[in-house]
């Protein structure tokens, strides 16, 4: 079987030190699996409200400056809406998707009536208000019937193995609830789009930042509901800012400096060390990448 990995950034801003760690890790993971393995780049621009015009091209140029070149032309989610619609229709036909008319305020009020507090950064566990109908409200979203699916499959916990973090589990029904697949105003939710794309691109190995690990159980449920394979997962360490929070575009992370070969090499070297690889004395990005492939193989590819 051909191993296929991917890097799938959202074009909400340029790459920064944290996103380069994820890009480098996914590239190394593919190269460490042999000459037939393929590395793909997918621009996850499905959420058009958050994405910036032309930022996908900026990201591709940053990757190229770091010698991280995909083996196939990049895929853009905005060109694949019809595939997400097919998947949603399949879930509707199986009674595993339903319309929801709840706003965030509605959900917060319903949770408050149930005595469930919602912290600023905590997950809103959907209470199932529209599970049995819209109650005269207009549909605002389509939700996946996670609670029903887990009950039917008689598996209250979703189990999976992370190649870095080890064995993981989550009770999606109680920790997340029935989650959004598509908003009524148009944008597709990350969970559905990424599952459809990974399946149709034949992705066998997902390597991404640890901040996305909590999404894995939801995606596994969707994979099972749609009858598509579940890839292997590896979540990389987070790069933290001076305040101890995850470095991200939302908190003003500095854009990756890779305008010269020396800058690109320095950025890659810093990213490699975040991944537990040795600092390089190589004279170019290409030479450094070749050094790190066997190191990655020793660290991660020998793990199940």
Average pLDDT over residues 125-146: 87
pLDDT number for residue 119: 53
Please compute the mean of the pLDDT values over residues 26-52 and round it to a whole number: 94
Residues 193 and 58: their CA atoms lie apart, in Å, by: 22
Cα(36)–Cα(202) distance, integer angstroms: 14
- Tell whether the model's pLDDT for residue 304 goes beyond 70: no
According to the model, what pLDDT value does residue 25 have?
98
Q: What is the pLDDT, as a whole number, of residue 249?
A: 59
H or E element in which residue 40 lies: strand 38-43
Which residue intervals of the chain bear CATH 3.90.800.10? 82-183
Return all residues near 225 (Cβ < 8 A) that are at least 6 apart. Answer: 91, 94, 96, 144, 149
Q: Which CATH number applies to 82-183: 3.90.800.10, 3.90.1150.10, 3.40.30.10, 3.30.930.10? A: 3.90.800.10
User: According to CATH, where is 3.40.50.620 located in the chain?
Assistant: 4-79+202-216+226-301
> Across all residues in the chain, what is the average pLDDT?
91
CA-to-CA distance for 4 and 29, rounded, in angstroms? 9
Q: Which residue has the higher pLDDT, 132 or 30?
A: 30
Alpha helix segments (H runs only) across 72-201: 81-93, 104-113, 146-153, 172-175, 190-200
Q: What are 208's two structure tokens? A: 């991404």
**Residue 109 near residue 123, CB atoms below 8 Å:** no
pLDDT of the residue at 117: 66
**Greater pLDDT, 225 or 250:** 225
The mean pLDDT value for 169-186 works out to: 91
| pTM score, whole prediction | 0.92
The rounded percent of the chain whose pLDDT value lies above 70 is 92
Percent of the chain with pLDDT over 90: 70
Pick the CATH number of 4-79+202-216+226-301 from 2.40.30.10, 3.30.1490.190, 3.40.50.620, 3.90.1310.10: 3.40.50.620
CB count in 10 Å sphere of residue 123: 12
Mean pLDDT across the stretch 13-30?
95
**Residue 185 contacts residue 212 (beta carbons within 8 Å):** no
Question: pLDDT tier at 120 (50, 70, 90 boundaries)?
Answer: very low
């Amino acid at each position: 079987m051909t191993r296929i990995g991917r890097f799938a950034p959202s074009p909400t801003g340029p790459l920064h030190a944290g996103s380069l760690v994820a890009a480098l890790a996914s590239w190394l993971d593919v190269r460490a699996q042999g000459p037939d393995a393929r590395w793909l780049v997918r621009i996850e621009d499905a959420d058009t409200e958050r994405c910036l015009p032309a930022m996908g091209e900026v990201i591709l140029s940053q990757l190229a400056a770091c010698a991280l070149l995909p083996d196939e032309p990049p895929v853009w989610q905005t060109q694949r809406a019809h595939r997400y619609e097919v998947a949603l229709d399949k879930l509707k036909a199986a009674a595993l998707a339903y319309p929801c008319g709840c706003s965030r305020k509605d959900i917060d009020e319903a949770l408050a009536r149930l005595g469930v507090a919602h912290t600023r950064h905590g997950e809103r566990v959907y209470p199932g208000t529209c599970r049995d109908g819209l109650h005269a409200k207009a549909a605002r979203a389509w939700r996946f019937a996670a609670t029903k699916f887990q009950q039917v499959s008689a598996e209250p916990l979703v189990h999976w193995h992370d190649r870095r973090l080890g064995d993981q589990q989550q009770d999606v029904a109680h920790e997340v609830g029935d989650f959004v697949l598509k908003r009524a105003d148009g944008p597709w939710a990350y969970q559905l789009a990424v599952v459809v794309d990974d399946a149709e691109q034949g992705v066998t190995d997902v390597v991404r930042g640890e901040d996305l690990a909590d999404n894995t159980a939801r995606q596994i449920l969707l994979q099972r509901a749609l009858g598509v394979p579940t890839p292997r997962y590896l979540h990389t360490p987070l790069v933290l800012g001076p305040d101890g929070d995850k470095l991200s575009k939302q908190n003003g992370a500095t854009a990756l400096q890779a305008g010269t070969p020396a800058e690109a090499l320095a950025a890659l070297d810093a990213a490699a060390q975040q991944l537990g690889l040795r600092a390089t004395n190589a004279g170019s990005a290409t030479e450094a990448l070749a050094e790190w492939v066997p190191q990655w193989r020793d660290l991660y590819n020998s793990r199940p």
